[in-house]
Structure 1
Amino acid sequence: MALVDAVGARRLRRGTLADMSVDQEVLAAADSRAVALADGDAERLTDLLHEDFRWTAHVGDTYDRAEYVRRNTEGHTVWRSQTLVDPEVVVVGDTAVLYAEVHDVVESDGHASETFRMPMTQVWVRSGRRWKCLAGHAGPRLS
């Protein structure tokens, strides 16, 4: 299931968020994060993450923004894709919580691609006119 429709994704790239609902803005930001992961684009990924970003991985490890970007763009984990299934967004003021089942296709430590299916929660905060991911958690893996 796509996070945003093609029109919404184009509006986000053109910077015309005024035509999108707040939920769509958050989903578009999450989609941009997923694309930055799959592209291995450290600069774009860093730009989408809040300066105080924290992530808890499905194995219980926690990372700050610098370590998260390093691990996900410098070859430790090579992302092929990330899909959010049935995402739900709850917005309160300038904070949004995104919940979905995530399907990640990744290569780790030189092993063949593997698909991980798990629940994921992301916390997004509005920074000016943009949404930045403040924190997230994925896991445990689903069978």
Structure 2
Amino acid sequence: MSAADADRAAVLAAARARADALAAGDAAALTGLLHEDFRWTAHTGATFDREEYVRRNTDGTTVWRSQDLADADIAVVGDTAVVRAEVTDVVEGGDGGSATFRMPMTQTWVREGGRWRCLAGHAGPRRTD
């Protein structure tokens, strides 16, 4: 495996670990995968810093069941990576049932101290087809 392929595989593993932390509601794991200066723009247009993003995604505000990343396209330049993927999110609805959302997502990752951490991301718009 080339160094470029190894970098792409490591970034994809980190992105999947982030998705797993969301589904598990694991605040510590999620925080560890996000850069201190993390920023997120949701499909609704709402924006969050790391503290608010972790809180909203692990305290029951949004209850995740899963997030699947399909067709991930990863570009790595030095210690920066961009991930583009189609995500399928399954979240618990207020009525106790689940809702499924599909949308494009873009994430920017930076390598610090040999590990990849998500610096920023954007999801949306939500697909209706």
Q: Same fold (TM over 0.5)?
A: yes
**Residue matched to 2:50:** 65
- How many Å apart are 1:110 and its aligned residue? 5.0
With structure 2 as the length reference, what TM-score do the two structures score?
0.93
Which residue, 60, 74, 77 being the options, matches 1:75? 60
Separation in 1, partners of 2:117, 2:32: 8
Distance 1:30 1:96, change over 3 A: same
**Residue matched to 1:46:** 31
Contact kept? 1:45, 1:69, Cα under 8 Å:
yes
- How many Å apart are 1:107 and its aligned residue? 1.6
Separation in 1, partners of 2:46, 2:96: 20
Contact kept? 1:121, 1:136, Cα under 8 Å:
yes
Separation in 1, partners of 2:33, 2:56: 16
Separation in 1, partners of 2:117, 2:95: 30
Residue identity in the other structure for 2:63: V
Over the aligned positions, Cα root-mean-square deviation in angstroms equals 1.3
Contact kept? 1:81, 1:104, Cα under 8 Å:
yes
Separation in 1, partners of 2:51, 2:94: 19
Separation in 2, partners of 1:61, 1:111: 24
Contact kept? 1:56, 1:138, Cα under 8 Å:
yes
User: Can you list the C-alpha shifts for 1:66-99, whole angstroms capped at 9, x where unaligned?
Assistant: 0000000000000000001100000111000000
Q: Give the share of equivalent positions with the same residue, in percent.
A: 68
Residue identity in the other structure for 1:81: S
- How many Å apart are 1:118 and its aligned residue? 0.2
Contact kept? 1:54, 1:136, Cα under 8 Å:
yes
Unaligned regions of 5+ residues in structure 2, if any?
A: none
Q: Select between 107-116 and 94-103 the one with higher mean Cα deviation.
A: 107-116
Structure number having the greater strand percentage: 2
With structure 1 as the length reference, what TM-score do the two structures score?
0.84
Distance 1:109 1:71, change over 3 A: farther
Superposed counterparts of 1:1-143, under 5 Å? 21-143=6-128
Unaligned regions of 5+ residues in structure 1, if any?
A: 1-17
